[in-house]
Structure 1
C-alpha cells in the first residue's frame, strides 16, 4: 500500500514537473502551413463599420472556424470615474449578430446623408430606405420587383434621386411620395419615320389640291393631334443609346442637368478562352477571359442632358491643353505626314463632382494612353471646360488617391463651395492639394518624401483625416490636419499598419492593426481623450498558431547600383547553412517590406520554415513597388526586368557581402510578377541564381491584359522594343540552373497558355533542367490546400536539392 502511494506521488510529481517545463512547438512542415488558414492561422476580423449613433461596431469574423464568416458586434459605453478624471471607454465582448438583426440593419454609413446629417438614404436588396438618425427609425420608400439603387438627396433636400434597373433616373418627394421619371434611356436605335418619295409627295399634293373634303379632314386631324400633344404631361426626352453602354447618369444639385457617359465597346476585339478540364459535366468547358494588350479599346463620350432646353449634347475635348501632344516615346520615331497631323487623343471623363450649393462642377479627364490627367471645371450650360490642374507624365499617371479612367480619385469641395481638394504626384509623391475653381489659386498642403495614402474630410469640413507612411515607408499611421495645411496630429501609435474606420461622430477610431509577425486584429480608440490607449477587441489566431515563435523580420536597406536604397525584409537563421532564398512579391506595384502582416502570409510562414532549416531569406521592395513615390513606381517604364531585376541582383550581392551567404547557393522564387522576375533572373542572370521557382508567371507581356501592361510598356504595335526586351520567353536560351514552373490551368489572369508556350520553347532549345507542374482546378490565386501543399513541397525540394 505504501509502495503504491509512493508510486502515485512520484507520477504526480513528474506530471507537475512536465507541465511546468515549456513545451517546444511542433516543427513547421509544408503540410501544416499550407492547410486551410482558418483551421491553422485563424480568421482575422474584416470590413468594420459603425452604427449611425457611433455606439456599436460591426465586423465580419469567424472565430468558430465555420464555413464562412459571420457578422459580429461590439457595443461601447463611456464611464466617468469618481476621481473626476477623463471618461474611460468600456467595450462589450464581441457577440454574433443574429440573422434577424442582421437583415434589419441599415447598410454601413456612407455619403448619402442630407446636409444637416439628420437623415440618410440607403438601398438594400433592391429597395430604398430612409433612416432618421435621431430616432433610429427606418422608413421603407420602395417595395418593387425592379431594382432601385444609388440613392442620394436632391440639392433642395426634398427629394431622393435614384436609379431604377441600373439605368434611368427617378426622383421621389419625401413628403408626398410622388415619383417622377427624370430620364428615358432606351436601348437600340430609334426607328426612323418612313419618308415619302418624290413621286409620293407629288401624288399627295395633287390629292389635297383636287379634293376639298380631304383637305378639310387633314386640317381637323392635324388640329386634334396638336391639342392631344398639348394636353399630354411633360415626359423626359427619349434618349436612344444605339450600340453604346450607359454609365452613371447623375443629376445636378439644381435639378437642371443630367450628365452621363456612353461607352462603345469594340466589336473586333478578340477575347481569350481558357479551357476548363475538370468539370461536373465531364466535358471540357471554355471560360471567357479577357483581351490581350494592344487590342482595340472602348471609346467614350461625356454627355449633358439639359432638361430645361430638352437637349442632349456631347462635351468636346478638342481644346483641352495638350490633348494633341504626342507621347514622348514616339517623338523620336520616324514620322509620316499622317503622323505629324495633330490628333486628338482619346480620353475618359469621370462622373462630375459638384459643390454642395450646386454652383460649380468639376470633372477629371484622363487620356486613354494614361500620360495625362486634367482636372477641369465644367460649365454644363455652355459645355465649356476650364483647366484647374494638369498632371503629365512621360511614363504613366498613378499613385495613391490619383484614381483611374473610371474613377476621379480622392477629391471634393471644402466648406466654401469653391475650393477643390485633390491628390497629385506632381512633386514625386502623392500629396494633398487645393485649387480655387474661380481664381485658379493652387496650394500644396502636404509635402515630403512620403505618401498620403488615404484622405477623408471631416463632417464639419474643418479638418482632413489622413493615412500616410511618413514615419517609415513600412508603417501606416492616421493623422488629423487643418484644411489649411500645417502641422499634422498623429492619432495612432502602434508600430505597424493602422487601418482606421472613423465613427460617424468622429470621436472614435476602429483600427484594424497588425505587426509583421501578428495577423490583423480589431482595436478601438478614443480620438479626443488625452493619453487614450487602443482597446483590443478580438483575438483571432488559433492556439497552435500562437505556439510557434513567429519571427519579426529585420527591415534593412540595401544599396542599389544607381545609388538608391532598396527596402527589404531579412530573415536570419540562428545557424546559417550558407543557402539563401530571395522571394519576389507579385503585382509589381505592391509593398511587402513593411511592418505589418503580409498578404503573403503563407509565404511568410514558409520563410520561417526555411530559416528553421538554416536558410537566409530576403524579400525586397524592388523598383516599381508601392509606397516609395512616383520615380520608384515608374522605374520599370519600357523595360520590365530591367531595374527591378537589377535590384534583385544587387540584393543577392549584398547577401554574399554582408550575410555570409554562399554566392553559388542562392535561389529565387515568386508568383505572378514574382514568377516573371524569377524567369528573367534565371534566363538573363543565370550565374547569380542557382535555382528558381516561377509560379503563375507572365512569360510574354504581349499576351497580358491592356490596362496594366499598356501603362508600363505602351502597346506592342507601337513599342515592340519594350515588349521584346521585357518578355522572358525571348531569353529562354540563357537558362543554366534548375527551374520549376507552377501554373493553374484555369488561370483567367495570367493564362496557362503562357506556361505552355514557354515549355515548348524550352523543349525546342533542348533544355533538360526544368519542370512544369500544372494545377487543373486552380485559377491565378490558388484555393485548395492540397494545391498549395503540392506546390510548396516542390519548391522546398528544389531548394534543398539544387542549392
Structure 2
C-alpha cells in the first residue's frame, strides 16, 4: 500500500508542475503545437517561394510568400494568387507556358511576366500537353482530343469518341413484323429506298471529322496524343458492379439518420478489365495492343498450390492494367508500365505506335507484391519512369536488390545499368535540367532520415547537399540554384528554410510556427534504438524513457498505423498527438516503445513484405520481442506492459490480446480492423490475396476468429462514421464477445468521428480513457 501511495504522490506532483502536460492541451494537435507550412512551390521565374500557412490558427490557412527582396515572409494578396498557381515544371524549356484554370486556357509569357486568358468556354478544357512543335499544343474537351496552333489559333479535332455502339445509329427494323411491313406497303418500301440512298451518299462524302470510335458502355480513359500529333492512345476499361458499403450518420442537423455510400470490400470479383487502343490519325485507323506474350502473364501465384481447386485451374491471362505512356523529348519513342491486378508482376514495355506491337524491356515478379518508393502501384499512380536527355535511355526504380534503387535501360542496346546501390532506398528522384544528374531524396545514413543528394549519372558519384539527421522535403528552384526546404527533427516540427544548391549547404529558416505554449515544455528527443527479433532481423523503435526518480517499471508499447508507414524515424511524426502523449506518459513514470514492425516503410523489400499472408505474424512477434527488450534491458516488469494503437495498430493490439493472452496486461484498440475480409481492395489484396482464393490467409490474420481467447483487459474505441475501417468491424467483434460471454472488455463509441478524429473533445475523451486503462491496470497496487 505504501508503494502505491508513493506512486500516486509522484504522479500528482508531476501533474501540478507548471510545465506538466495536460490532455486538453496536447489533443488540440496543431492548435497547440502551431500550424506548420505546407505545399511549397516556386514562382515560375524562380524569384519567390509560395507556401500554405496558418500562423494565427484561423479557420482556414492562407498563401504566404518569401523572396530575396522582401527578406521576410508575407501574406500573399488576393490579386497576386493567380501567379502562385502556375505550374510550369513540365514546360521548363518554353518561353510561353500554357495551362488550364477553372476549365479555361491561359498563357504565361516569361519575358513580360504577363498572364493571358486565351479561351473561355462552358465546356471545360483540361489535360494540356505540349507538342514537339512549340506553337502546337493538345488539350481535351468533352472527352475528345484537340490540337491548337497558338500562332494562328487554328483548332483541329483529333478524335471523335462516342459512347454506344455503331449499330445504335441505325433505326432499321430487322424482325418479322418489320419484314412483313416492307412486303405489304409501298410507303415503307419508298422510305427504305430513300434511307439507303442517303446512307450511300454519306458514305461517299468525306467528313471533316476523324473516324468515329465507339467505346460502348466501357469507360474511356487516358486519352493521350503523341508529341508529333500523329497518334492518339487511349484505354477502355470495364469495371464490375460492386456492392457498396454504407455508413450511417446518427447525429445530423435535421434529426433524421442519414447513410452515406462508402467503399467496397475486398473481393476477386472487383477485378476490372482493360484494353489499350492506338488511333493512327493519318490513316484514320484504330487497333488494339496485345499483351498475351508478356513474361509470366499466364503464371499463377505460388499460394495456389495450397488449394486443390486452384492447383488444377486452367491457365489464363492475368488481369492487368496499363499506365500512361511516357515519351522522349522528340516523341520518337514511348514506354509505359503494366501491372497485374494481383500486384505480383510489373512490366515496362516499349510501344511501336505504327504497328501496335510492344517490346518487353523489364519484367519484375514478387510472390508477395510489387511495391516500394518510386514504384507505382496499379491502384495508386505515381513512381519514377522517364527518359534521359539522349532520347533513347529510360530510367526507373526497382526493388530487384531488396531496396528501391535507380536504374537505366538503353532502348537501342537493351543494356540495363544500376545507378545507385546499398542497403538504403531512393525515396525520390528528379532529373536535372541538363540531364546529367539526378537529385535524390534518400535514407542513406539512417532508415529514419530523408537526405538530399546529387547523383552524377556518368560516374555514379553521389554528393551530399543536405545530410543532417531528420527529414528534408526539397523543392528545387526553376534554375536549380536555390532550394526551398521543409525540414523537421524528432522533437522539432516542420519549418520552411531556404538554401543554396551546393554541397553541404546551410539552411536559412524563414518561418516560425510553434506556439509559446508548445515551446514552454522540454520535449524529449526519443532514442531510435535497434533490437534483435526472434528470427534475427533488426527492428528499429523509438524509446521514451522517464526520469530515474519517477520510473514505475511499467511500459506501454505503441503500434503505429499502416498503409506503408514509418514512425521510428528522426523527423517530426504525423502522430504528433501520440508523440506528446508519450511525453506525458514518460512524465508519469512509464517507459514507452514505438516499434517499426515488419511491414513498415523505410527498410526495403523484406521488411515491407514480411507480413505477406499473415498479418499478426512477424509484425506481432516484433511487439513481443520489443517487450522482451524492455524487460531484459530496462528493468520493466513483464507483468505490467500495455499495448495500444489505431487502425493497423488497433488490429495488432487485438491480435496481441487474442492470440497471445497474458503477454500484455491491458490493450486499447482504436478504429481497428477486426476482419480483413471486410476491408478494402487496394490495400488488403496485396497482402492477403483474395478471400475467395486464399481463405487461409484471411482466417489466420483476422482477430474475430480468435475472440474466444480474450483474457486480458481490452478497451475498444471507434468512430461511428468511420468510412475507412467501418464501425461494423467493431460491432461484429462485440457480438462475438457477447455470444462467448466475455466480460473483460469495454467499448467507447464516438458518434460524429470518422477514421481520423477531428474534434478536440473526442481526442480528449479517447485518450483520457486510454490513460485511465493503463493507470488502473499497469500501476503497482499493494
- Say whether the fold is shared (TM-score over 0.5): yes
Instruction: Tell me, yes or no, if structure 1 residue 418 matches structure 2 residue 392.
Output: yes
- What's the CA shift for 1:235? 0.3
- What's the CA shift for 1:626? 0.2
Q: RCO greater where, 1 or 2, for CA within 8 Å and sep 6 or more?
A: 2
**Larger deviation, residues 609-618 vs 765-774:** 765-774
Q: Describe the SS at the equivalent of 1:101.
A: helix
CA distance in 1 between counterparts of 2:202 and 2:533 reads 80
Are the equivalent residues in 2 in contact too, given 1:183–1:238 (CA < 8 A)?
yes
Aligned pair partner of 1:398 in 347, 371, 389: 371
* Counterparts of residues 124-273 of structure 1 (less than 5 Å): 124-165=101-142, 167-190=143-166, 191-193=168-170, 194=172, 222=197, 233-267=207-241, 269-273=242-246
Q: 1:577 to 1:238 in 2, by over 3 A?
A: same
Q: Alpha carbon RMSD of aligned pairs, Å?
A: 2.4
Are the equivalent residues in 2 in contact too, given 1:446–1:485 (CA < 8 A)?
no
**Larger deviation, residues 593-602 vs 175-184:** 175-184
Q: Residue 57 of structure 1 corresponds to which residue in structure 2?
A: 49
Q: Residue 498 of structure 2 corresponds to which residue in structure 1?
A: 524
Q: Residue 479 of structure 1 corresponds to which residue in structure 2?
A: 453
Are the equivalent residues in 1 in contact too, given 2:272–2:319 (CA < 8 A)?
no
Q: Residue 566 of structure 1 corresponds to which residue in structure 2?
A: 539
Instruction: Tell me, yes or no, if structure 1 residue 28 matches structure 2 residue 2.
Output: no
- What's the CA shift for 1:140? 1.7
Deviations 1:741-784 (CA, angstroms, capped at 9, x unpaired): 00010111101000000111111111111111111111100001
CA distance in 2 between counterparts of 1:351 and 1:316 reads 16
Q: Residue 474 of structure 2 corresponds to which residue in structure 1?
A: 500
TM-score (norm 1): 0.90
Task: Please identify the structure whose Cα radius of gyration is greater.
Answer: 1
Q: Describe the SS at the equivalent of 1:473.
A: coil
Q: Residue 81 of structure 1 corresponds to which residue in structure 2?
A: none
CA distance in 2 between counterparts of 1:304 and 1:719 reads 37
Which ranges in structure 1 are unaligned for 5 or more consecutive residues? 1-22, 78-90
Q: Residue 100 of structure 1 corresponds to which residue in structure 2?
A: 79
Instruction: Tell me, yes or no, if structure 1 residue 41 matches structure 2 residue 33.
Output: yes
Q: 1:540 to 1:200 in 2, by over 3 A?
A: closer
Q: 1:441 to 1:408 in 2, by over 3 A?
A: farther
Q: Residue 11 of structure 2 corresponds to which residue in structure 1?
A: none
Deviations 1:337-373 (CA, angstroms, capped at 9, x unpaired): 9x44321111001111111111111111101111100
CA distance in 1 between counterparts of 2:202 and 2:691 reads 60
Q: Describe the SS at the equivalent of 1:386.
A: strand
Instruction: Tell me, yes or no, if structure 1 residue 358 matches structure 2 residue 334.
Output: no
Deviations 1:162-183 (CA, angstroms, capped at 9, x unpaired): 1124x21112111011222222
CA distance in 1 between counterparts of 2:223 and 2:17 reads 63
* Counterparts of residues 206-605 of structure 1 (less than 5 Å): 222=197, 233-267=207-241, 269-294=242-267, 295-335=269-309, 339-406=312-379, 407=381, 409-484=383-458, 486-528=460-502, 532-574=505-547, 575-605=550-580
**Larger deviation, residues 296-305 vs 453-462:** 296-305
Are the equivalent residues in 1 in contact too, given 2:278–2:287 (CA < 8 A)?
yes
Are the equivalent residues in 1 in contact too, given 2:713–2:744 (CA < 8 A)?
yes
CA distance in 1 between counterparts of 2:129 and 2:310 reads 52
Q: 1:120 to 1:25 in 2, by over 3 A?
A: farther
Q: Residue 10 of structure 2 corresponds to which residue in structure 1?
A: none
CA distance in 2 between counterparts of 1:599 and 1:531 reads 27
CA distance in 2 between counterparts of 1:503 and 1:150 reads 24
Deviations 1:670-697 (CA, angstroms, capped at 9, x unpaired): 0000000000001111221100000000
Q: 1:278 to 1:58 in 2, by over 3 A?
A: same
CA distance in 1 between counterparts of 2:513 and 2:85 reads 27
- What's the CA shift for 1:199? 11
Q: 1:689 to 1:233 in 2, by over 3 A?
A: same
**Larger deviation, residues 432-441 vs 640-649:** 432-441
CA distance in 2 between counterparts of 1:195 and 1:760 reads 59
Are the equivalent residues in 1 in contact too, given 2:725–2:755 (CA < 8 A)?
yes
Q: 1:134 to 1:691 in 2, by over 3 A?
A: same
Are the equivalent residues in 1 in contact too, given 2:563–2:683 (CA < 8 A)?
no
CA distance in 1 between counterparts of 2:712 and 2:44 reads 60
- What's the CA shift for 1:422? 0.3
- What's the CA shift for 1:484? 2.9
Instruction: Tell me, yes or no, if structure 1 residue 786 matches structure 2 residue 761.
Output: yes
Aligned pair partner of 1:718 in 693, 696, 702: 693
Q: Describe the SS at the equivalent of 1:302.
A: strand
Q: 1:768 to 1:533 in 2, by over 3 A?
A: same
Are the equivalent residues in 2 in contact too, given 1:62–1:70 (CA < 8 A)?
yes
Q: 1:175 to 1:716 in 2, by over 3 A?
A: same
Deviations 1:389-448 (CA, angstroms, capped at 9, x unpaired): 111001100000110215362010011111000000011000000001222110111010
- What's the CA shift for 1:256? 1.5
CA distance in 2 between counterparts of 1:599 and 1:532 reads 27
Are the equivalent residues in 1 in contact too, given 2:482–2:499 (CA < 8 A)?
yes
- What's the CA shift for 1:219? 11
CA distance in 2 between counterparts of 1:443 and 1:225 reads 58
CA distance in 2 between counterparts of 1:340 and 1:287 reads 39
Q: 1:220 to 1:674 in 2, by over 3 A?
A: closer
Which ranges in structure 2 are unaligned for 5 or more consecutive residues? 1-15
**Larger deviation, residues 230-239 vs 346-355:** 230-239
Q: Describe the SS at the equivalent of 2:68.
A: strand
Are the equivalent residues in 2 in contact too, given 1:434–1:445 (CA < 8 A)?
yes
Q: Residue 3 of structure 2 corresponds to which residue in structure 1?
A: none
Q: Residue 662 of structure 2 corresponds to which residue in structure 1?
A: 687
Q: 1:206 to 1:668 in 2, by over 3 A?
A: closer
Q: Describe the SS at the equivalent of 2:270.
A: coil
Q: Residue 742 of structure 1 corresponds to which residue in structure 2?
A: 717
Are the equivalent residues in 2 in contact too, given 1:107–1:124 (CA < 8 A)?
no
Deviations 1:506-527 (CA, angstroms, capped at 9, x unpaired): 0011000000001000001001
- What's the CA shift for 1:158? 1.9
TM-score (norm 2): 0.93
Are the equivalent residues in 1 in contact too, given 2:94–2:134 (CA < 8 A)?
no
Are the equivalent residues in 1 in contact too, given 2:328–2:391 (CA < 8 A)?
yes
Aligned pair partner of 1:798 in 741, 749, 773: 773
Deviations 1:43-94 (CA, angstroms, capped at 9, x unpaired): 00000110111110000001111111100000125xxxxxxxxxxxxx6110
Q: 1:646 to 1:32 in 2, by over 3 A?
A: same
Aligned residues: 755
Deviations 1:566-593 (CA, angstroms, capped at 9, x unpaired): 0010000002111101000001520000
Deviations 1:21-53 (CA, angstroms, capped at 9, x unpaired): xx9743111111112x34311100000110111
Q: Describe the SS at the equivalent of 2:307.
A: coil
Are the equivalent residues in 2 in contact too, given 1:106–1:122 (CA < 8 A)?
no
Are the equivalent residues in 2 in contact too, given 1:351–1:408 (CA < 8 A)?
no
